[in-house]
């Protein structure tokens, strides 16, 4: 790589902190002629929980959006081009120098966290809710819900969908493969501290999830309670269901999350209710969405910044 391409390595170094389903970090990137080609690693696809690869492409969209934000941080503008749905390359990103750098974006990218703990009972100011509501990306739109009835509906759908998924032995087995104990040295997956599970219990969490069907009820109850304990819920919908639209949904998802972080708002993704076909259809009908709901982000105010989940080194990401 030439000297003039070193800024792309700096951009990708920041993009490592993107969110992804189960923290699989499925992205792969190659750098050539001043461009970044984004692809993915098939072994990091959740074949049981995400057979259509929708969650995978949303995760890749988050990665692409973070690349764009990292580029602006270093004084560059990203131009996005869709390639296709094959693992070798889903998007081609080119860059041009712009007038000034937005140095605050690096801080936001690094401190963005998934906070699955209890939030403080505090409303989000209307001006900030309005800012979050108007965000969009291609066919992807954000819808912000603050009413008790809407949040209760989303909580109930989360419980139903989580229970249905966790009752499946194959789903629990796949999920357990990405669960880590709190002292893990592995650069991916979900340490139990992400769920607020203490160290000693984290040592048996993987086995409990895999072997004990009773965890389905407790996890569904916990997730539903967390969704209910939210100042607002963001639902992202797309007007067409396709890999290209899912990438746009992921870009919007991370754009919304970084904006919330800038406002000091904590967040966590709860995807069960949009992945399950039955609850997804009920959500679209009862919320009168014009498109397909594909992502759900819980919003509120955490008490402090939680510990970060592990990250793959850049050498693992670069093709």
Per residue in 229-275, pLDDT (tens digit) is: 999 999 999 998 999 999 999 999 999 999 999 999 999 999 999 99
In a domain, 206, yes or no: yes
Q: Band of the pLDDT at 101, cuts 50, 70, 90?
A: confident
Are residue 23 and residue 74 in the same domain, yes or no?
A: yes
Same domain, 63 and 206: no
Q: Which domain holds residue 38?
A: 3-113
Q: Is the dihedral of CA 184, 113, 155, 136 positive or negative?
A: negative
Task: Tell whether 104 and 137 lie within a shared domain.
Answer: no
Compute the residue count for the chain: 319
Instruction: Show which of 89, 113, 137 is a domain's final residue.
Output: 113
Q: What is the CATH number of the domain that holds 282?
A: 3.40.109.10
Q: What is the pLDDT of residues 130-180, one digit of tens each?
A: 999 999 999 999 999 999 999 999 999 999 999 999 999 999 999 999 999
Q: Please check whether residue 237 is in contact with residue 291, taking contact to mean a CB–CB distance below 8 angstroms.
A: yes
105 and 157 share a domain? no
Does residue 315 sit within a domain? no
Has residue 156 been placed in a domain? Answer: yes
- Does residue 318 lie in a domain region? no
169 occurs within a structural domain? yes
Q: Are 86 and 141 found together in one domain?
A: no
pLDDT, residue 306, reads 84
103 and 158 part of one domain: no
In a domain, 88, yes or no: yes
Kindly state whether residues 102 and 173 are assigned to the same domain. no
In the predicted model, what is the mean pLDDT of the chain? 95
**How do residues 35-66 score in pLDDT, each as one tens digit?**
999 999 999 999 999 999 999 999 999 999 99
Q: Are residues 235 and 262 in the same domain?
A: yes
How many CA atoms lie within 13 Å of 127's alpha carbon, on the beta-carbon side? 1
Is 213 part of a structural domain of the chain?
yes
Q: Which two tokens stand for residue 159?
A: 């419980």
pLDDT grade for 100, boundaries at 50, 70 and 90: confident
CA proximity to 31, closest of 16, 58, 60, 11: 11
Instruction: Look at residues 78, 113, 148 and tell me which one is the last residue of a structural domain.
Output: 113
Query: Residue 308: inside a domain, yes or no?
Result: no
pTM of the model: 0.97
Residues 137 and 229 in one domain: yes
Among 113, 144, 160, where does a domain finish? 113
Tens-place pLDDT, residues 198-207: 899 999 999 9
Q: How many domains does the chain have?
A: 2
* Together in a domain, 137 and 84: no
Report residue 247 as tokens: 């990438």
Same domain, 182 and 230: yes
Residues 242 and 287 in one domain: yes
pLDDT score at 4: 52
């Amino acid at each position: 790589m030439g000297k003039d391409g070193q800024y792309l390595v700096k951009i990708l170094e920041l993009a490592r902190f993107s969110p992804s389903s189960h923290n699989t970090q499925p992205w792969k990137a190659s750098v050539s002629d001043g461009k970044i080609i984004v692809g993915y690693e098939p072994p990091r696809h959740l074949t049981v929980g995400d057979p259509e690869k929708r969650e995978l492409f949303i995760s890749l969209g988050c990665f692409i959006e973070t690349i764009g934000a990292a580029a602006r941080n270093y004084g560059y503008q990203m131009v996005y081009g869709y390639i296709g749905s094959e693992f070798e390359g889903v998007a081609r990103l080119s860059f041009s120098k712009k007038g000034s750098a937005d140095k605050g974006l690096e801080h936001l990218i690094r401190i963005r966290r998934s906070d699955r703990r209890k939030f403080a009972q505090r409303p989000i100011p209307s001006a900030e809710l309005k800012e979050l509501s108007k965000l969009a990306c291609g066919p992807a739109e954000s819808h912000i819900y603050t009413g008790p009835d809407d949040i209760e509906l989303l909580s109930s759908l989360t419980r139903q969908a989580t229970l249905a998924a966790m009752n499946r032995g194959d789903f629990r087995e796949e999920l357990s493969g990405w669960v880590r104990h709190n002292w893990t040295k592995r650069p991916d997956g979900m340490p139990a501290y992400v769920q607020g599970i203490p160290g000693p219990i984290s040592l048996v969490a993987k086995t409990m999830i895999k072997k004990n069907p009773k965890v389905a009820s407790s996890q569904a109850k916990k997730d539903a309670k967390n969704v209910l304990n939210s100042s607002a819920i963001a639902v992202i919908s797309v007007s067409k269901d396709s890999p290209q639209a899912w990438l746009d949904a992921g870009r919007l998802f991370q754009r919304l999350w970084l904006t919330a972080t800038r406002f000091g708002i904590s967040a966590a993704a709860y995807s069960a209710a949009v992945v399950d076909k039955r609850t997804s259809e009920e959500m679209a009908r009862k919320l009168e969405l014009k498109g397909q709901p594909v992502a759900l982000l819980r919003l509120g105010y955490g008490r402090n910044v939680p510990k970060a989940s592990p990250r793959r080194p850049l050498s693992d990401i670069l093709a």
